[in-house]
A = this chain, B = another copy of it.
């Protein structure tokens, strides 16, 4: 089952040497809320308040923090209109779309199999 894969090189030196930049990006993407925000935006742009409602359970602080990281990484674009009350739209960038293209199949599989996995789970 050894698949020749571009990742193979990384494996020979250990899986992603600890201080490699991909570890940082990986942490952002796989952060508790990062994935969910990216998935939420995968269908189109959303306003702050919409994101807050759609991403069930996220606090305002965490939404702000998560968005700051995703914007800084260039996955999400922030579009603020200086109206009153303020209106801010968030949308995936091209880079964000490349990412979510790889993220969605994973999320699909997880949501499809989660119930089976949890119910079959060997008691600790």
Interface residues on A, range: 35 or more
Chain A 14-25 per-residue mask, 1 if CB under 8 angstroms from chain B, else 0: 111110111011
In the assembled complex, how far is the CB of residue A93 from the closest CB belonging to chain B, in whole angstroms?
A: 11
Q: Is the interface of A mostly helix, strand, loop or mixed?
A: helix
Q: Would A118 and B21 count as touching, CB distance under 8 A?
A: yes
Q: Would B73 and A21 count as touching, CB distance under 8 A?
A: no
Q: Would B107 and A7 count as touching, CB distance under 8 A?
A: yes
A83 contacts chain B at the CB level, 8 A cutoff: no
On chain B, the residues within 8 Å of A114 by CB distance are: 20-22, 24-26
Q: Would A115 and B21 count as touching, CB distance under 8 A?
A: yes
On chain B, the residues within 8 Å of A36 by CB distance are: 15-16
